[in-house]
Amino acid sequence: MRRPSIFIDRREPLDVKMTPMIDVVFLLLIFFVWTASFHVVEHILPSSVSEMTGGETVRPNDPPPPEADFHDVIVRVLWDNGRVSWRVGDELLSDLAGVESKLARIFQANAEAPVIIDPDNATPLGDVIDVYDLSRRVGFDEVQFAAAEDV
């Protein structure tokens, strides 16, 4: 004689209640969206308020140095008649020492500015690498190369 199975005599279908699970998922979604921070933290915004001490005098008429206007530092490496020259902003320089001093002044005014190296097509690669190494030695963290639009 066979024993009766408990699964054969079951007549009601297995019913999974999805409504409570969906409610829990929506509540979790609302909780995570509500607690997420969408605001920029203020202490990472640039500010010159905390740079002054109480003993300093304020001179509002002093213009900032011209290097402070740089958002992107563009260094053009020019090759003309077998000689290399450099153009940093609007200033044409004939030696790497001049480029280094100009980049150092810009770095003191705006250390987060990216340096963009834009060489001529005929410029030897060694001169371009010299400018890259010089930019990193001065202290710039972000040094990029300009690319032609057809690339």
Whether this prediction's pTM lies above 0.85 is answered by: no
Tens of pLDDT along 52-99?
555 555 566 666 555 555 577 888 888 888 888 888 888 888 888 888
In CATH, the number for domain 68-145 is 3.30.420.270
Q: How confident is the model at residue 29 (pLDDT cuts 50, 70, 90)?
A: very high
Question: Domain-by-domain residue ranges, the chain?
Answer: 68-145
Q: Is the dihedral of CA 118, 124, 128, 134 positive or negative?
A: negative
Tens of pLDDT along 91-121?
888 888 888 888 888 888 888 888 888 888 8
Give, to the nearest 10 degrees, the angle between helix 125-138 and helix 96-109.
40
Residue 88's contacts (CB-CB under 8 Å, 6 or more residues apart) are 73, 74, 75, 76, 99, 102, 103, 106
